[in-house]
Amino acid sequence: MMRTAVIGALLLLSGQSSPNARDELASLRKQAHAAREAGDYAGYLQAALKVRTLTNNYPNTIESVARAYTEAGANEKALDALTEFADMGQVDEGMIDGSNNMFAPLAGSPRYKTIVEKFAANKTPVTKAEIAFSLKEAGLVAEDIDYDSVSKSFLITSVLEKKIVRVDAANGDATDFASSPSHWPMLAIKADVPRRLVWATEVALDGFTAAPKEDWGRSALLCFELGSGKLVRRIEVPAGSAIGDMVLASNGDPLVSDGAKGGVYRLKDGELKLLNGTEFISPQTPALLPDGKHLLVPDYLRGIGILDLHSGSVKWLTQEGSPGTALNGVDGIYLHGRSLILVQNGTSPERVMQLRLDGSWSRVVSSEVIERATPTLGDPTHGVSVGDDFYYIANSGWSELDDHGDVKPGAKLTPAHIMRFKTR
């Protein structure tokens, strides 16, 4: 659900009184800023290294470490960090075109030239997907997608039109399914086909002109009849939350992520009960592991956590090899056999990836790019598996919006493409 513009504001917040990753990150960033302002480059470096550790090697923090090493005069270590950043598939456009002067002391090194060449290679277009269909309504800003196997149709939420549309899988024709009862942007959606229900969320995103100002910071979990679109129930959560992402347990219980306060919840006995509220900074769309006891939770800044649904404890997905691929900036993850598909709109470049997991479901053993840097991939959000095909929203429209949800000057919303990729 969250874009990087929103994340920047979240890092300054401290929504819980107990120690948590969000507070720790905010404190470390404050220390780093203060040290750098005071010319204490050793202190700045130490804080930057701690941020990198906390965020499990979030690529942007690796580049920040490279900057700290550069300012401390440790050029070879700075080049080591930049090499890691590039090897994770990332790009610094400013280093390619020469507009980024942060690493000017390194520019004379042959290693620097190699890094820039790697950046250029990382931004070359890759696509193993095709357009399945395109939405005809340009102003939707499509966010989440799911599939109803009975009617053979997709359900897609709209941020700006504040509704859910049903799309015929055969021809792409869309009809309105339901609207937000509160007239707020609609974000997450999951169809409980066996029980003929649809779960969705409506979120009055803070600062968004698409929601009434008096409602900013409110969000709710909604349940509709899958056939008629009739609203069955509405459960509002405490103010300041943004429950924008969701998956369903095997018994139909919604498992919901709060991207604003960092909590992961399960709907039980009519109440959203907190599973973990300390380890995640901005959790996004999760995936339930086959054992039904663990949840893979992508955190926009910390990577992918493995949440024990009983104890609430969290471990982090690891990788074979170093540094591996970037596991941050993920908006949604989806399991298909041993494959884990990632939709990443917080990496540079944005991309869709397929990872292969080991037998313990806790380690990445290989990775493959499905799509990156193509004309169809504007700002991808979420997807859904239908048989052996994976469908995802490619150019959602988020990239054309400013921090208030308004179309940027000179920008234009275009109909979203739904891409299809054959998984294996």
Task: Say yes or no: 277 and 415 in one domain.
Answer: yes
| Residue listed under structure tokens 């990753």 | 21
pLDDT at 413 over 90: yes
pLDDT at residue number 320: 85
DSSP strand E in 239-398: where? Answer: 243-248, 254-258, 264-268, 271-276, 287-288, 294-299, 303-308, 314-316, 318-319, 330-336, 339-344, 351-357, 363-372, 383-386, 389-393
**Tens-digit pLDDT profile for residues 298-326:** 999 999 999 999 999 999 999 987 788 99
Task: Say yes or no: 77 and 135 in one domain.
Answer: no
Q: Which two tokens stand for residue 147?
A: 């599939």
pLDDT at residue number 139: 94
CATH number of the domain to which 106 belongs: 1.25.40
Where among 122, 149, 184 does a domain terminate?
122
Considering just the CA atoms, what is the radius of gyration of the chain in Å?
Answer: 21
**Rounded to the nearest 5°, which phi and psi values hold at 93?**
-60, -35
pLDDT at residue number 148: 97
**Tens-digit pLDDT profile for residues 229-271:** 999 999 999 999 999 999 999 999 999 999 999 999 999 988 9
CATH number of the domain to which 248 belongs: 2.120.10.30
Higher pLDDT, 23 or 169: 23
pLDDT at residue number 199: 98
pLDDT at residue number 3: 52
Domain count, the chain: 2
Domain that holds residue 108: 4-122
pLDDT at residue number 11: 38
pLDDT at 6 over 50: no
pLDDT at residue number 196: 97
pLDDT at residue number 1: 58
Task: Say yes or no: 278 and 342 in one domain.
Answer: yes
Signed CA dihedral, 16, 271, 205, 304: sign only: positive
**Tens-digit pLDDT profile for residues 78-117:** 999 999 999 999 999 999 999 999 999 999 999 999 999 9
DSSP H/E element including 178: strand 174-179
Stretch 353-362: mean pLDDT, rounded?
A: 95
Q: Burial level of 37, CB count in 10 A (0-12/13-18/19+)?
A: exposed
The amino acid that residue 423 corresponds to is T
What CA–CA distance (Å, rounded) separates 28 from 19?
13
Question: What is the pLDDT confidence band of residue 396, given thresholds at 50, 70 and 90?
Answer: very high
What CA–CA distance (Å, rounded) separates 86 from 257?
30
Where among 89, 122, 155 does a domain terminate?
122
Task: Tell me if residue 263 falls in helix, strand or coil.
Answer: coil
Task: Check: CB of residue 283 under 8 Å from CB of residue 299.
Answer: yes
pTM of the model: 0.93
Task: Say yes or no: 92 and 134 in one domain.
Answer: no
Task: Say yes or no: 168 and 25 in one domain.
Answer: no
With pLDDT > 70 as the criterion, what percentage of the chain qualifies? Answer: 96
With pLDDT > 90 as the criterion, what percentage of the chain qualifies? Answer: 91
- CA dist list (Å): 34 to 24, 105, 320: 15, 23, 36
Query: At CA 187, angle to CA 346 and CA 281, rounded to 5?
Result: 45
Task: Say yes or no: 193 and 260 in one domain.
Answer: yes
Task: Check: CB of residue 257 under 8 Å from CB of residue 266.
Answer: no
DSSP H/E element including 142: strand 142-148
| Residue listed under structure tokens 């390194």 | 106
Task: Say yes or no: 147 and 77 in one domain.
Answer: no
| Residue listed under structure tokens 């929504």 | 15
Task: Say yes or no: 218 and 100 in one domain.
Answer: no
pLDDT at 296 over 80: yes
Task: Say yes or no: 147 and 51 in one domain.
Answer: no
For residue 349, cis peptide bond before it (omega within 30 degrees of 0): yes
What CA–CA distance (Å, rounded) separates 301 from 60?
9
pLDDT at 2 over 60: no
Task: Say yes or no: 110 and 131 in one domain.
Answer: no
Task: Say yes or no: 200 and 330 in one domain.
Answer: yes
Task: Say yes or no: 85 and 100 in one domain.
Answer: yes
Where among 82, 104, 122 does a domain terminate?
122
Task: Check: CB of residue 66 under 8 Å from CB of residue 75.
Answer: no
